[in-house]
Amino acid sequence: MKNLIKDEKEFEKLTKRDLLYHIEDQINELKNISIRNTLSRTNFELASWAYQQAYEVGYQKALRQLEEFIHYDR
Residue 23 has pLDDT above 60, yes or no: yes
Of the pLDDT bands very low, low, confident and very high (cuts 50, 70, 90), residue 63 is very high
Residue 22 pLDDT: 87
**Is the pTM here over 0.85, yes or no?**
no
Residue 31 has pLDDT above 70, yes or no: yes
8 Å CB contact between 56 and 37: yes
Of the pLDDT bands very low, low, confident and very high (cuts 50, 70, 90), residue 8 is confident
| Residues 19, 63: Cα–Cα separation, whole Å | 17
